[in-house]
Amino acid sequence: MILAKSTGFHYHRHLLQSSFPSSYNFSLNQLQRAITKRISLSAQYKARTNHISSSAIVAPKMVKAIRVHEIGGPEVLKWEDVEIGEPKDGEIRVKNKAIGLNFIDVYFRKGVYKASAIPFTPGMEAVGVVTAVGPGLTGREVGDVVAYAGTPMGAYAEEQILPAEKVVTVPRSIDPSVAASVLLKGMTAQFLVRQCFKVEKGHTVLIHAAAGGVGSLLCQWANALGATVIGTVSTKEKATQAKDDGCHHAIIYSEEDFVNRVNEITSGKGVEVVYDSVGKDTFQGSLSCLKLRGYMVSFGQSSGTPDPVPLSALATKSLFLTRPTLMQYTVTRDELLQTAGEVFANVAAGVLKVRVNHTYPLSQAAQAHADLESRKTSGSVVLIPDGC
């Protein structure tokens, strides 16, 4: 045993001395420390190279998504592969089951609203299943069915990373397609009739695009609150739908002047509030429909940006004008939960009927945009990830 130790010692001493100048003299302790250090460095290098080689063979996860590389018409919506990573602190990864199509998606695609960067993935509403949870996150588990509406943009994808604080739990009684079609539109309707201008029994309200996704919900909600509802639509079929949604007076604007018709319905008094998502084509007429101290709520511009309005135009009847957005009414987590909770509660109670009248494969988002802009759709439109 002593001989073996001695032989091993002389071997390692010879090995080390061959790596250093002959002038070096090593004691036994020096040689033992040098050998230990060399072995440690060798182990570290091996572990490091093994980690690098194993990492290199793990390919990044790719999913399909709609990408926009330049602003323009529906044709700029491209179906592409994109890389998706793992959720970080405070984040979750969600596999989308249904994605809501909203006119705000068109605004970003056309450049009316500016995306933070190009290329980008559009979409601001989706429902899906949690597939991964960021480190240390509590309150969310893999398998949870969740929904989000608003920011961050990027819902037109098979999977996406989301801040956990931006999602809400979808009640089991509500189908994912229904939830995806109603959350953003429903929360918009909620803040419009419950916060921006509080509709009450006895009010008369004018709702443009009354058969659209938001318009349909506004008609139902305002009716449930006891208001007289006047709506404008483009066809007889949409007039029938608007009436089914609680619209007492449906005006087909292509056949009659809505300003004159509102004047007749209200006996010249006008309405307390106008909810206008059309913009340029209806804005001036909407102002004319208001009664003294009436509220002009402009929340969209599907026909284009309205012409500038001088303050003197509001002074004639002491009118109020506002251009609200949902994001400013759901700033805090509590505001989000309250708004979304009221929407889901009204859906579950039957106060709000959700019409998912059109579904498209996500890969055909361009066709869905074209149909929405040409007013071929009514009610809600939902995009379904291919293969779901």
Written as tens digits, the pLDDT of the chain (388 aa) is 444 444 444 444 444 444 444 444 545 555 556 555 555 555 555 555 455 444 445 567 899 999 999 999 999 999 999 999 999 999 999 999 999 999 999 999 999 999 999 999 999 999 999 999 999 898 899 999 999 999 899 999 999 999 999 999 999 999 999 999 999 999 999 999 999 999 999 999 999 999 988 999 999 999 999 999 999 999 999 999 999 999 999 999 999 999 999 999 999 999 999 999 999 999 999 999 999 999 999 999 888 889 999 999 999 999 999 999 999 999 999 999 999 999 999 999 999 999 898 999 999 999 999 999 998 888 789 999 987 7
**Entry pTM:** 0.78
Q: Assign 3-state DSSP to the chain and report helix, strand, coil percentages, each to 5.
A: 40, 25, 35
Selection from 101, 164, 89 nearest residue 130 by Cα: 164
Read off the tokens for 265: 């319905």
Cα separation values, 152 from 115, 116, 356, Å: 11, 11, 24
User: pLDDT (tens digit, 9 = 90+) per residue, 90-119?
Assistant: 999 999 999 999 999 999 999 999 999 999
User: pLDDT (tens digit, 9 = 90+) per residue, 136-159?
Assistant: 898 899 999 999 999 899 999 999
Rounded Cα gap, residues 330 and 242, in angstroms: 28
pLDDT given for residue 50 in this prediction: 54
Selection from 204, 211, 259, 250 nearest residue 231 by Cα: 250
Rounded Cα gap, residues 169 and 145, in angstroms: 6
pLDDT given for residue 19 in this prediction: 47
Selection from 297, 31, 332, 38 nearest residue 189 by Cα: 297
Tell me which fold the domain 61-183+329-384 belongs to.
Quinone Oxidoreductase; Chain A, domain 1 (3.90.180)
pLDDT given for residue 28 in this prediction: 52
Rounded Cα gap, residues 28 and 35, in angstroms: 11
Selection from 231, 309, 237 nearest residue 275 by Cα: 231
- Which CATH architecture does the domain made up of 201-323 adopt? 3-Layer(aba) Sandwich (3.40)
Q: How far apart are the first and last CA of the chain?
A: 71
